[in-house]
């Protein structure tokens, strides 16, 4: 079994590389905990280039935690459009409110206090406390998992319980001689993103390659060790886009499920689209058995744990009386087409509206 080589030059070498190769990111210009926190929440499950665009948009609209706390939740959802995982947006507002009201607008400096904030886990709390408050807390993300597992030849499955703490301890030991842990964390993440990449790592320019287990043994492609992803749950959504003279009927998702607190069209979840249409007819009294093919739009929404086949049915209601009868019977809300951009929808509905409204 490979014995971990806890070479203390590892951290120093990473910092040397970082000094001349670090990314010029807008939230690194100062050590403002609000900016670091906002960037970390936005960048979860998000590519860097996309995340920066959203970060700049949010900072312009909400330059500090107080302005964010006072924002209408629907405005935040609207600005979050396209990022997905809307619970992050909900927790963003919750945390801003807590910091404004309970901490008088000042971010807590202690790691344990940061962990108490909605949507803040070990990773985000470690980033804020190390970068902004000089605490010796070690950030573990996908980049760090990859760099350390390759360097040390760690056989531990990173998806299993306890792996975060294990890698946190490894990172801590590899950086015993590092004073600025916040800088080390940033360097390690950048190194993983730019050099020790998931595919085709640029080992030639790595100044730790002489002591790297994976480079020596040519095993870069197998690290980090991961279990095979579980099969996605399949679901079948039938959305009825009910329209009348520039207005749509929509509803808010309030159940504990995906896309919580976002808006959608009237939904019938059924694998059999014919059954869904019949059920819609029963609920509304409308005869839509002869829907033309151009009135049906098919989409696929791939989430991390679910695969959703979506049918959109475009239903045009001519008479105002029928439109408002459906609205009442199905407990729906009406919205003007011109107001659509202000409402938070799941991405699959946003895409539908973009090309079919």
pLDDT in tens, 11-37: 999 999 999 999 999 999 889 999 999
| CA contacts within 13 A on the Cβ side of 201 | 26
Are residues 150 and 224 in contact, defined by beta-carbon separation less than 8 angstroms? Answer: yes
Do 114 and 108 meet the contact criterion of CB atoms below 8 Å apart? yes
Using an 8 Å Cβ cutoff, are 236 and 243 in contact? Answer: no
Summarize the confidence of residues 147-160 as an average pLDDT: 93
Q: Are 311 and 238 in contact (CB under 8 A)?
A: yes
pLDDT of res. 59: 96
Q: For this structure, is 294 an active site residue?
A: no
Per DSSP, the residues of 252-268 read: E--SSSTTTT-EESEEE
Q: Is the pLDDT of residue 292 over 90?
A: no
Calpha distance 350→356 (Å, rounded) = 10
Q: What pLDDT is recorded for position 302?
A: 72
| pTM tops 0.85 | no
Rounded to 5 degrees, φ, ψ at 105 are 80, 5
Residue 6's pLDDT band, with cuts at 50, 70 and 90, is: low
* CA gap 216, 179 in Å, rounded: 29
* Domain architecture of the chain: domains with CATH: 9-222 (1.10.340.30), 233-356 (3.90.79.10)
SS3 130: helix
Taking alpha carbons only, the member of 206, 173, 169 closest to residue 187 is 206
The residue annotated as part of the active site, out of 40, 73, 227, 264, is: 40
């Amino acid at each position: 079994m490979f014995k971990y080589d806890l070479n203390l030059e590892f951290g120093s070498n990473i910092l040397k590389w970082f000094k001349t190769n670090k990314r010029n990111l807008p939230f690194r210009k100062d050590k403002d905990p609000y900016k670091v926190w906002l960037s970390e929440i936005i960048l979860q499950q998000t590519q860097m280039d996309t995340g920066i665009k959203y970060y700049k948009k949010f900072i312009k609209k909400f330059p500090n935690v107080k302005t964010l706390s006072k924002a209408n939740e629907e405005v935040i959802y609207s600005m979050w459009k396209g990022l997905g995982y809307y619970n992050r947006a909900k927790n963003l507002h919750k945390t801003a409110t807590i910091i404004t009201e309970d901490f008088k607008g000042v971010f807590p400096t202690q790691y344990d206090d940061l962990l108490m904030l909605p949507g803040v886990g070990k990773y985000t709390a470690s980033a804020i406390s190390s970068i902004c408050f000089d605490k010796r807390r070690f950030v573990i993300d996908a980049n760090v998992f990859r760099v350390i597992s390759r360097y040390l030849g760690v056989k531990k499955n990173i998806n299993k319980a306890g792996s975060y703490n294990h890698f946190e301890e490894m990172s801590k030991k590899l950086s015993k001689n590092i004073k600025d842990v916040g800088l080390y964390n940033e360097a390690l993440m950048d190194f993983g993103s730019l050099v020790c990449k998931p595919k085709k790592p640029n080992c030639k320019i790595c100044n730790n390659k002489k002591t790297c287990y994976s480079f020596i043994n040519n095993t870069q492609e197998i690290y980090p060790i991961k279990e095979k992803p579980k099969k996605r749950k399949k679901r079948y959504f039938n959305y009825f886009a009910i329209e009348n003279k520039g207005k749509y009927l929509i509803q808010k998702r309030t159940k504990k499920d995906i896309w919580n607190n976002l808006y959608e069209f009237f939904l019938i979840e059924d694998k059999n689209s014919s059954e869904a249409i019949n059920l819609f007819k029963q609920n509304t009294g409308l005869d839509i058995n002869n829907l033309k093919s151009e009135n049906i739009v098919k989409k696929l929404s791939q989430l991390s744990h679910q695969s959703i086949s979506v049918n959109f049915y475009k239903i045009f209601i001519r008479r105002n009386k029928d439109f408002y009868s459906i609205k009442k019977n199905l407990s729906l809300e009406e919205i003007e087409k011109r107001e659509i951009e202000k409402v938070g929808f799941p991405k699959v509905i946003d895409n539908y509206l973009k090309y079919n409204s």
